[in-house]
Amino acid sequence: MRRVIFNQKGGVGKSTISANLAAISAYNGYKTLLIDLDPQGNSTHYVLGYSDVDHSLVDLFDQALSFKIRPQEVKEFVTGSAYQNLDVLASHPSLDELQSKLESRYKIFKLREALDELSGFYDHVYIDTPPALNFYSRSALIAADSVIIPFDCDDFSRRALYNLMDSLNEIQADHNPNLKVEGILVNQYQARASLPQQLVAELREEGLPVLNCTLSSSVKIRESHQARKPMIYFMPKHKVTKEFLDIDLELKEQAKKGKKKAA
């Protein structure tokens, strides 16, 4: 399963969600790859604890732009983490500079080809994306089986969500008909406040696939960022860790139902 976590709006928790779901997948015994397509490299820092890696996505995409008689295998660009079963295709600030070259050479399918090559190595792939519908996020959506949309409960996020759904429909129609919206994940949810409850209820009434599980706001998330440890390893019994585990379980149950319908 290849999941991309994407929203064009910044500050909605893409990196936190990507890294924590990937960590839970690995913790549960699945060979898991976390891909960090955001030049800021937050997921890379969060899981690896550093950004100075021998190989990164820049090297992978650089190879796609040059002709080599014996190109390196994609697995050679992957960095192992301190956590069992969890590897990272790391980000690099130079991804920004590389983007225009990749676009002009139409390398939009290179990530999908790379993941096809890695399909025998990993059970689950989680892809963190930049907060823009650019070359890298499009590449991720073309390469993925499904997309999870982080959502903050405010009117600006709601307006951006409608534009995002239109963009996803276009990518499905043009490049990836098998891409499905696995769910809208409400982040920093305040259960006692009336506005978040109202917004979530209205989104569900409109038929949008809002996940039942939500994520609360907690300072422990920021502390886990600073410690460079996803929550399952930082505070395994914390409320937010339990919420991530519930989300992982809901996604698994949805996948099982989808397979039964397909059969």
50 has a pLDDT exceeding 80: no
The CA distance from 164 to 252, in Å, is 24
Helix (H), strand (E) at residue 70:
none
- Write the pLDDT tens digit of every residue in 111-124: 999 999 999 999 99
Three-class SS of residue 86?
Answer: strand
Cα 189 off chain centre by: 19
The residue ranking higher by pLDDT, 11 or 133, is 133
Mean pLDDT, residues 21-28 taken together:
98
Convert 183-240 into a string of H (helix), E (strand) and C (coil).
Answer: EEEEECCCCCCHHHHHHHHHHHHCCCCECCCCCCCCHHHHHHHHHCCCHHHHCCCCHH
Whether the per-residue pLDDT at 134 is higher than 70: the answer is yes
194 backbone dihedrals φ, ψ, rounded to 5°: -75, -35
- Position of tokens 């976390």? 34
- Reported confidence tier of residue 195, pLDDT bands at 50, 70, 90: confident
Give per-residue pLDDT as tens, 173-186.
999 999 999 999 99
The contacts of residue 107 (CB under 8 Å, 6+ apart) are 61, 64, 65
Domain boundaries defined on the chain: 2-247
Mean pLDDT across the chain: 93
Coil, strand, or helix at residue 144?
A: coil
pLDDT of 222-262, one tens digit each?
999 999 999 999 999 999 999 999 999 999 998 887 777 77
Nearest 5 degrees, angle CA 32-CA 36-CA 37? 135
Q: What is the mean pLDDT of residues 75-80?
A: 96
Q: Which CATH number fits domain 2-247: 2.60.40.10, 3.40.50.300, 3.90.550.10, 3.40.50.1100?
A: 3.40.50.300
Pairing relation of β-strands 2-5 and 124-128? parallel
Q: How many CB atoms lie within 10 A of CB 49?
A: 12
3-class secondary structure, 163: helix
Q: CB of 15 within 8 A of CB of 238?
A: no
Alpha-carbon distances, residue 216 vs 107, 186, 204, 210, 248 (angstroms): 38, 9, 19, 15, 15
